[in-house]
Amino acid sequence: MNRPLVDRSIITSAQVDPARTGIGSSPFVGDASHTGLVVPEAPTTSQNTRYLFRLCAVGVPSDSICILHNFRQLLYIGCDQPAEEGQDDEQWRVEIPVTDPLWSFPDGNVSWHIRTVRPFHPDVTIIPPDVGASIGQSGRGDTTDSALLSVAPAPGAYGPLNGGMPYGRPLAGLGTIRDIRYPWTNRGTSLGLEIAGPVTLAMYASVYQTDPDRRPNKPVGIETAGLRNEDVFMFNWPQARYTRVGGRMDVEIVNRSRK
């Protein structure tokens, strides 16, 4: 008797990062990708225009099941600061990871969503770039690439696909996650959730970008000794905003019809 064909992999958010232009991110010529997706600087103006990201996804054929062993969440805040005198056109990116599970800007937040999307289309799991799309943006909701999902992929004209709602049906109570319950550096989690094909298993994030110029001012007389790291960073760098969001899924695809 033949055993089922098993394919285990870790799928991770990755896209071209403008900060890697000209220097690359690996020894492969032309590779300027980086872990996570860059969050646009422009503040969100309403709940139905939040930035919708497809962080990562995997297609599950009809003759297979997918076992989701675990997932991870990645979130950074930061800002760009000018370099020393004599380098007026140079910028330093100052960033820290968000580690407190419930922290958010007072005028912004992030939610994560793990969903099953039907139907699964094997012929679109690997696609060419969208025509007219900006780097890192996609006008398609039926693929598995990491991207900011936009109805108008052009700078300064963002509008989310699907009204800003993540596609598909929620998986096992993970359809909407409002906290960082599975941090990027966590170990040992084992969910063992089974998903039968044909379906696409996808992880999304929805970001309400803060507006540093309209955010409430620092409280009067506050001491930073007892504050969370994220609050201290925000008070030290008033222009801080969400800069990067990402996700990772550890999955196992089991082909049940191997002959």
Distance CA 164, CA 168 (A): 13
Share of the chain above pLDDT 90, in %: 56
CB neighbourhood size of 130 (10 A): 16
> What value does the mean pLDDT take over residues 215-219?
81
- Please give the model's pTM, rounded to 2 decimal places: 0.88
Q: Of the candidates 168, 59, 71, which has an alpha carbon nearest to the alpha carbon of residue 122?
A: 59
Q: For residues 111 and 170, is the Cβ–Cβ distance under 8 A?
A: no
Tens-digit pLDDT profile for residues 76-122: 999 988 877 656 667 788 999 999 999 999 999 999 999 999 865 54
Q: Between 176 and 143, whose confidence is greater? A: 176
**Contact indicator for 137, 159 with CB cutoff of 8 Å:** no
pLDDT band, very low/low/confident/very high, at 123 (cuts 50, 70, 90): very low
pLDDT in tens, 20-52: 877 888 888 888 778 999 999 999 999 999 999
User: Is it the case that residue 131 has pLDDT exceeding 60?
Assistant: no
* Coil, strand or helix at 18: helix
Q: Work out the average pLDDT over 183-195.
A: 87
In this prediction, residue 129 carries a pLDDT of 38
Q: Where are the domains of the chain?
A: 5-255
Q: How confident is the model at residue 141 (pLDDT cuts 50, 70, 90)?
A: confident
> What is the number of other CB atoms lying within 10 angstroms of the CB of residue 211?
15
The pLDDT of residue 259: 45
SS (H, E, C) 72-122: EEEEEEEEEEECCCCCCCCEEEEEEECCCCCCCCCCCEEEEEEEEECCCCH
Confidence of residue 127 (pLDDT cuts 50, 70, 90): very low
Confidence band for 137, pLDDT divided at 50, 70 and 90? confident
Contact 139, 224 (CB under 8 A): no
The C-alpha R_g of the chain, in whole angstroms, comes to 20
Question: Among 36-45, 124-133, 135-144, 238-247, whose mean pLDDT is lowest?
Answer: 124-133
